[in-house]
Structure 1
């Protein structure tokens, strides 16, 4: 099925690096972060009811928790944040605290109830594959699962929870793994795609119910849609130069929301750094919740 998408700017926030959009079906709202400003945002899909919280220790990615809190990846730690009172309530784990050249990046809750979060080599030049993908269990156990990454990104799971999509924005590649939703075990790694600046280095990702993988082509101003086998189905033009992550929202999960970053030197008229939305003819996969019972 091929179709065209027409994006509208739902929130003209001019974020430095808007990322990690997550739809909360209980509150019927969208949460996302601005990495550049260390902020977590909440807004209705209509763009109303906007709230922002900023953190000294940063805000890199978020996921939903069963209690209604958010699991929040900061620079080198994972915490629980309560958006009802604006408080960080629990520190779950620390990651790579000994390194000053890496930070946490893309993170999502998996079908196993754990928070999966990767690091990135946080330098402006000579980026090297020193980063990794981690699994953080609800008990705070941290397991290093994938090594030799420059910038971990693009986490998404298939509808049945048996496939994990994962990318390296500086590889730049997209991989697919077999995933055990009961244990979080990874196997059968498959390289789905190798990309470049023109085809769209892979930033954040999302999966739809047809099994396809959506990847924000941050370097090319496009949203790529791949089959589970890695075939490029479509490349949708995006209204601003640097989309960062798609997610599916709304009661039917057919509102496609995409965050963006604001490049240095962009004109004042540009809505780069805004949150964009369109209707999708295919629904997305519902996100999972972190099992924070007892925390």
Structure 2
């Protein structure tokens, strides 16, 4: 396993119960993320200005939207969030018949489709599903069988989708057809059943390696395309929840974390639990996040929109 020096910095002592979905906005040069348990969307600008918007329902994932604002996966389905006035508009609710389910983690593919994986109704219920929200706002169930769907990400060559099930202790790989918007050949990618941690939210780097938070063991793991653990980056908190690349050169690994999982004694030992971290000098870059909507999903057609 490669060992390398790297730098870790707290960029925001947010005090999140469960921080998730760090998202770099390249036009605003700002970092967005969510607190899932005290439902809110939060933003840290390049100038250090912080904003927070309360959300009406629990949410797990946010993504960039062509035409302005963000899209989010929530306990009441897919929504559009407008930060200019804080409004939330429902797009589609694929789990309306299962009110205990919720959309938990997701990403936009490079055709502008929003993929989200949901949870079951309990810690043992594999009733969660993988959904695809298209730019025309039609919604499609693509697979099912997830207890706590997590860690969804697309490889930079658009041939593989990784989706995890935190409670089952498995990361899965799918063959991904970008043009058709289809997945097939679901198979185990990595098992954490015998590990002291569980896999949480993740992303890919430009070299085709998958990174994800190793919750309860205070680390970020980097996995090669075969599922072999390639590198560990240790953090000063035991419950990181998700990582993603950001910054102007996509060379900063942003990490959210949670505090709700810790006892009072553990919180005293980990005063930065619930903070947002930036890891630098790790030697790799990410790939740009895609945007929800029609057209080139690499970004809006009008700069600054």
Q: 2:151 aligns with which of 154, 172, 182?
A: 154
Alpha-carbon distance in structure 1 between the residues aligned to 2:55 and 2:204: 30
Q: Find the counterpart in structure 2 of residue 121 from structure 1.
A: 120
| Unaligned ranges ≥5, structure 2 | 296-305
Give the CA deviation at 1:140. Answer: 2.2
Q: Find the counterpart in structure 2 of residue 228 from structure 1.
A: 225
Q: Find the counterpart in structure 2 of residue 110 from structure 1.
A: 109
Give the CA deviation at 1:92. Answer: 1.4
Q: Find the counterpart in structure 1 of residue 62 from structure 2.
A: 62
Q: Secondary structure at the match of 1:7?
A: strand
Q: Find the counterpart in structure 1 of residue 36 from structure 2.
A: 35
Moved more, 207-216 or 69-78: 69-78
Give the CA deviation at 1:183. Answer: 2.2
- Structure 1 residues 73-102: Cα deviation after superposition (integer angstroms, max 9, x where no partner): 1212111111223222x4210121122332
Aligned 1:156-175 pairs, distance under 5 A: 156-175=153-172
Aligned 1:182-261 pairs, distance under 5 A: 182-196=179-193, 198-261=195-258
Give the CA deviation at 1:292. Answer: 6.0
- Structure 1 residues 173-228: Cα deviation after superposition (integer angstroms, max 9, x where no partner): 11122212222111233311100373421100010011100011112211111001
- Structure 1 residues 93-119: Cα deviation after superposition (integer angstroms, max 9, x where no partner): 012112233211112111221111111
Alpha-carbon distance in structure 2 between the residues aligned to 1:60 and 1:76: 11
Q: Does 1:84 align with 2:84?
A: yes
Q: Structure 1 residues 45, 129: CA separation in 2 closer, same or farther (over 3 Å shift)? A: farther
Q: Find the counterpart in structure 2 of residue 16 from structure 1.
A: 17
Aligned partners of 2:158 and 2:177 also within 8 Å: yes
Moved more, 147-156 or 176-185: 176-185
Alpha-carbon distance in structure 2 between the residues aligned to 1:248 and 1:14: 21
Moved more, 149-158 or 137-146: 137-146
Alpha-carbon distance in structure 2 between the residues aligned to 1:231 and 1:15: 31
Alpha-carbon distance in structure 1 between the residues aligned to 2:233 and 2:68: 34
Q: Find the counterpart in structure 1 of residue 135 from structure 2.
A: 138
| Unaligned ranges ≥5, structure 1 | none
Give the CA deviation at 1:60. Answer: 2.0
TM-score (norm 2): 0.89
Q: Find the counterpart in structure 2 of residue 284 from structure 1.
A: 286
Give the CA deviation at 1:290. Answer: 0.1
Give the CA deviation at 1:122. Answer: 4.5
Equivalent pairs, count? 289
Q: Structure 1 residues 149, 285: CA separation in 2 closer, same or farther (over 3 Å shift)? A: same
Aligned partners of 1:106 and 1:152 also within 8 Å: yes
Q: Secondary structure at the match of 1:267?
A: helix
Moved more, 229-238 or 195-204: 195-204
CA RMSD, Structure 1 to Structure 2 (Å): 1.8
Give the CA deviation at 1:267. Answer: 2.5
Q: Structure 1 residues 197, 97: CA separation in 2 closer, same or farther (over 3 Å shift)? A: farther
